[in-house]
Structure 1
Amino acid sequence: MIDTDDLPPALAEAAATAWRYILDHPDQAALDALQNQLHREPAVCRQLPRLLACSPFIAGLLRRQPQLLTELIASGLLQRSLAETELRSQLARLLAEPLAELGPTLRRFRQYQMLRIIWRDFSRLADTLETVRDTSLLAEACIELAQSQLQTQLEARFGVPRGRHSGAAQQLIVVAMGKLGARELNVSSDIDLIFAFPEAGVTDGERSISNSEFFIKLGQGLITALDQVTVEGFVFRVDMRLRPYGESGALALNFSAIEEYYQDQGRDWERYAMIKARPITGDPARGAELTATLRPFVFRRYVDFGVIDSLRGMKQMINGEVRRRGLQNDVKLGHGGIREVEFIAQCFQLIRGGRDLGLQQRELLQVLQECAALGCLPEATVAELRRAYLFLRDSEHAIQGYADQQSQALPSEPLQQAALAEVMGLPDWDGYLAELDGHRQRVAAHFRDLIAAPEELDDTPQELALWGEDLDQEALSRLGFQDPAASLEQLQALQQSPRVATLQAEGRERLQQFMPRLLSGCAEAGDPDRTLRRILPLVTAVLRRSAYLAMLLENPPALGELVLLCDASPWIAEQLARHPVLLDELLDRASLYTAPDKALLAAELRQQVARLPPGDLEVQMDALRYFKASHVLRVAASELVGRLPLMQVSDKLTWIAEVILEQVLAVAWTDLTGRFGEPERDSDGYGFAIFAYGKLGGIELSYSSDLDLVFVYDAAAQGVTDGARSIDNVKFYTRLGQRVIHILESRMALGLLYEVDMRLRPSGASGLLVSSLSGFASYQRETAWTWEHQALVRARLVAGDVAVGAGVDALRRDILCRTRDEAALAAEVVAMRRRMREQLLPASARADAEFDLKQSPGGIVDIEFMVQYAVLAWSHRVPELTRWSDNIRILETLAREGLFEQHESQALIDAYLAFRSAAHQLALQQRPGTVPPGEYRESRAAVSALWQRFFAAYDDSNPQAGETGVEK
């Protein structure tokens, strides 16, 4: 007898009864063999009573075929996990045996494997993920090998199906949907399939038929092989209702017909279904082609909050079905059940999957983890959902493994309740229900938080009059609009525009819901009319992609942030109108007003790039552009609300550019080395460095700055790359520089990354794009003009090989530390400044009607030129002046070293910061960098006084010229 002492009394009796029935089997030799195996395997012997009590399906199977367990014990398969290919290879061997028949072989194999799978699951030898994986792999093996055998038989009758255009042999592509697509199949599930084939055409046999007829016959045969119930049972129940046109559609369609269906008629629920779609048979390359064709239907390129409303509708239909059929205690469809966990994951996939490619996965738990990594869900929420999902799936297996029935309903019969509690490791039914209820309550709460409808504004007559035919000046005036006539004119222009006239019903409805909320929000702004005027271009831009309106409707705080930022800055309003995808950044106020430091920026970019398909340059370029645009928006928002002072704004913008340049170089390097191999070089790095000049070099980047760059490499000119398509080093590094510029300057949906100015390279626009280190050194020592040495003051390494960077930096210090004739230097600096002023100073500033913050006397450039003069004149005596590339720290060094008086240095620092801060604010207001002439008088006077002390003798434009010499 078996030992049932560890089971509750009712289950112990059930196990003992089942064992007695097994012992009644007429084949005594089979029973002896089984008992001998059990005697040699005490672990299996201990596990057997639980299986017999908790699964009448297993008990009945062993009663009929005790040798199945004998074989399993002998094989050792009960006690270990299977490799991914083992199930297929086992079934292939069985089908290859002489006289093997497809149908009976598949059914016997299914019985054998389901005994193993349920045994390991109920004994907790396998975790949830192994159970669903093995069940899925069993289905895949049966489908693939059955299809192969059936196609061979059909080809013998009708010939090989061939593409009409390609002439290539065609294979059936079975697309697994739902849980099979994600390899999450439960132990008694049906399988949702779609049958596809690449091309229309005909077979090449004597009895030729169309490819469509051929593959419909093949599909019918495959369904029969799997689904038909015989004396040996079935393999898998097959459901084909997810195919295009459902039950009324053809059983198999070619790729073109499938693509046309989803483009023209695909519905929201089909997008959900397609998330897990996975080709499991046929040519993998053609399967990947089909998947790529369908991806745009599933994953929109923009953030698609419109799916939430659709999900609400689907959930309401499910709830109605649950009530109608009394499924409240269904662990899948009921309150807080498996379906709600799936909806949470799929909702984020459909909202963000087009942009965050890491969400384009099929496995639910991996998707939830990606949601945590992306910040869509808190880690704690994901942990709760994961625990609940695994508990619910284990419950589902315990329910289905009891009688091999496709059910997720909690049992009402006491013995099955006891069995379910026993499999789940809980003392009794009440204990199980308490645990289940806790998980379901948590899932339901998270689900409710995600899809609950936003609080609706009161539908008062005033609110209803804020859009449509009843919108008038009086309504706008009551809201607080100061120029209601002008605002009404703009709103009516929108209403009457062709874009609105051609909107589909869904878009029109969303616009009707959105506009009253927008107008109410604008009424809270400092200047409602101005704010509305700034936001309307964004509304116009997203009319055809009304999911953005849905996003703002679903997230009233995000609409509030939109109004706040557009009221504060037309520059931000323009950025959002040009790139509506940035609206996603308004959803998280904490991150919107938090600009990360460089280490966090670099880590975030690495994580984003790691989720992208390798080798897809366009996708990587898109991701880089979104990364830049989103983080620059965060910096601007933080500056507007006063969280970031000027110095930190410049730091943040500079760091964004630096991490992007490093990634751009990595992408360009990977692309070129993949084609040509790596260049011969001594360095362990790229042998290539990117040096920044100007604002980037001086850590003073602004919102619209271009990048002044110089590319330097250090490798033997006669060296070559080590790839099959070898090229010389010079050509390689030239192409590397060209590729970097291409990635930065290519205009895409999100614009370009940065405009690049390479004119500071040796010989300017006529020089080589990429300089060797030796050539760069020769030019700087022998040929460079004084103004090029001035530019060198602000040069620094921003990306690439640190060894090459160290070589350039050593050269920079050497050049800057040269002994110079200070009078001659001053004369050249003044001449250069005069030329700049003549070319760049606006006419209004020349007439002293305005003060140009950058070019007017006493402005930013005067400070920069004095700093550059000081470095070039005195670094031979004070090399510490060459340490920094930014003006503020150079000015601090000048004071510390006694070259400037402390009050002089501080006056320049204060003026520099004041001018640049004003320029930043004006840029955010999209105004030119000029102010009334009366502003900043003290700062301008301090700058001009120092300019006179240094350069009066050399500045012909100054009436005091000649009175004062250059400070020695």
Structure 2
Amino acid sequence: MTSGDRSTALTALARIGFSHLAEADAALGELEQLTGAGRADAMALAQRVADPDRALSALVQIARRDAAAVRAAATDAGTWRALWDIVGASDGFAEFYLRHPDEIVHLAGAGLTVPDEQSMRAELLASVGDDDGFASDASDATWVALRVRYRRLLARIAAYDLGQDDPAGAIDVVSAALADLAGAALEASLSVARARVAGSGPGAFPREQVAATRFAIIAMGKTGARELNYVSDVDVIFVGGTADEDVVSEARAIDISTRLAVQTMRGISGPEIEPPLWEVDPNLRPEGKQGALVRSLGAHQQYYDRWAKSWEFQALLKARAIAGDPALGAEYIAAVQPLVWLSAARENFVEGVQRMRERVTEHIPAAEVNRQVKLGPGGIRDVEFTVQLLQLVHGLSDERIRQRGTLDALDALVAEGYIGRSEAEAFGRDYRRLRLIEHRLQLRGLRRTALLPEKEDDLRVLARATGLADSASGVQAAWESIKREVRDIHVRLFYRPLLSAVAALPEGERSLSTEQARDRLAAIGFRDAAGALRHIAALTSGLSRKATIQRHLMPVMIRWFADGVDPDYGLLVFRRISERLGNTPWFLRMLRDSAGAAESLTRVLSGSRYIGELMEWIPESVAWLDDDALLRPRSGAALQEEARAIQTRWDDIDGAMRSVRALRRREMLRVAMAAVLEVVSLEELSDALTTITEVTIQATLRAVRREVVPPEDDALDFSVIAMGRFGGREIGFGSDADVMYVYRANGIDPQRASQLALKLVAGLREQSEDHRLPLDLDAELRPEGRSGPLARSLDAYAEYYRRWSLSWEAQALLRARGVAGSVKLINDFIALADDVRYPVDADPNGLREIRRIKARVENERLPQGADPARHLKLGPGSISDVEWLVQILQLQHARAVPALRTTSTLGALRAATDAGLIAADAAEKLAASWHLASRLRSANTLLSGQTSDVLPGDRARLDGIGRILEYPPHSATQVEEDYLGATRRARRVFEKLFYG
């Protein structure tokens, strides 16, 4: 061969995947010489295997020992392909065939199907000469024969697995075959164990007693679920007993069973010439390593009834009889299965399972945690624990999801609506790929492992073995991607609050279809139980996926509704929202899967009619409950941008104002939900409500001005001045927007300017009307009150304040703040207002007049028949007391103390305290009363959907208000006492400082 030809040949080997090119070239020649196998065929087969170098090296070594065996394999295309696949993926099998080259012939026909359970069991029993449960030979050689025959069958399963174009898609078939093979091996090993225990040596038992001993092997974990790996511990539980008390007593049968268990395990994993198959692990038995190896069925039942922990029932979820006495095995499964599905009702069951999963992760060595395919975050256990927890919780009342296998259970959970299709599809796909990685890792050395390799060469082999990537970096990236997706779904589903809530339901409430449902609904707080049943029936009837999911949600949501203030109203609105959203896919999926959305929805609907009425019109707002960030008030800039965009989209004022009103309703609802769910503080709440009102007025003014002011009069300046609590950015739910209107003609005929200004005012008032969510623009704080003109020019205001202004009008200006219209005009008006509200010397007569007006307001402004102590705005020690006291301090001292020049009540109170005008403890009492009264006022509106300034006497309403303010249930008295106490303390401070 010329140097050029040799270079071309080596290049071809490199393309195939060989790393050691010279050695591979020589080995191909030697293999051809020893076996007659064509070089081209060998190279074609090498191209498909995980590790061409090791495969070729192994075949050469085997051929050196038994060339005839390899030569025979090379003459059959199927056998030759299977042999290359197996030794190319598994050093363990390469060593097996080096030990037993005569086994290669049994690969004939391998790869087409997996061996079935019956044939594998028959073949392994034949390998030990089984005759009616007893092996013909109890010598160590029988163990060796069993192990060799086991690996012959294992190789046929591996040949099928490695020959698949989509190996991940075949995971369930391969895993089930591996579990069946394990069961067959245990059965054959038990046959040898019986022969040994019934032998003639010391400690042997009579054959008839062994035959009369009932002994069953129960598979747990992956073996029980028929999802076993190539090399995995096989978790088992042993059950013993007697078939005939006259032949063998129960106690003696347990002794015999214990010997059988020990010998059966030895046959599988004891030291012999042929390596062990896998570890038989009996430590899931009652009391674990400390407990008896074998117990009777009755002893098992007694333990599980009295002492078993929750994790033991989770383990029993996959229990399946796989060897020994099939009737005893069936009796065991029938006895423990009901206990499995009742276990989730135990106290803190869900939290216990969650904590157990966390402990598994915590015990992984730090250096391995990111490489652990099985136990690490985003690994196999995340999928399995999630599926098992969902099964255990919902399987309490739904037999259709009681499957052993993870993939079967996942399909059932999807079919019954407990997991969304997209999440289940991702979970199932990732689970198959993770299992494929685990299989290939274990197949490599025929040893138990679940650690992703670190060396690049090993990662490259894994990439070829799995087909998930074509390079070391590619398989690493695939693993990271799978891990992220699995972990995300696991966290979302495994920690969903719905699980704990379902598990905690009393047994009688896990289903709402019984005849006693009406009585139970009445008992837990529904006033109209019959109506509630009608709503539930409307939501859950039918065969649609929507109705299925509602049936799962309802038992828990009913409990949450019942914990609220008005469960009947909450359920009614929930039904209406559900009907409005129809088959919207995200709605029910979010309630089922979100970290608290369902509970939050029941809370806002049963606790606030204000929210319920708005949510009926804006049902898509439910989506905000999935993320607190969506409940945060939007910034003024964002709202202003949206409002301006509305202006550009609509040419007519009606269309524009419909959109502006919709914007306001939506944002008011957002803030209301945030308030009830404690996402915002009172200060944030007031600021948000003020911002929404400002943006609404600004947008309305722009729309109205476009209609009212013709281009030739565009020089007209017009502005809206916020007054009162609106000016102080202190409004709550149901508050009016106190305003004044100012204009400047800028050369336009004064009469014309006045007419246009009044038209603007009329347009503002008309277009701001909203029958669903009223916005009252109240101009009563203008000069001369109701008797004065609605709008004045800036010059008219200046003239009025110079000549006729009264003390209360200067007081009113303390909270004046421009919010809409001409910025220059606003600045000029505020400069004018500053001269009036911050006088160099306060007029003593004016201050006396303010005190006189305050006393008159307390006597005359209260609604007829109202208890003054319960009036949140005008009552003693309430909002007006604090505000009037702060305002009189501002009138007296704001000129000298610049910090007092603020429209904020609490801001001015803090400034007065800092300036030594009021003692800190006194200011604290005033602020506490003002703060509580303001919160109660908003909570009252949120609860009832109606504005009221009176603290209700009705205990149920008081309790509802308290719940909104974060009081525990049944706190009506505490709410009342806290308010009356706070106002009494504030009133004493007020009287001392205001009138003193």
TM-score by length of 2: 0.46
Please identify the structure whose Cα radius of gyration is greater.
2
TM-score, normalised to structure 1, is 0.47
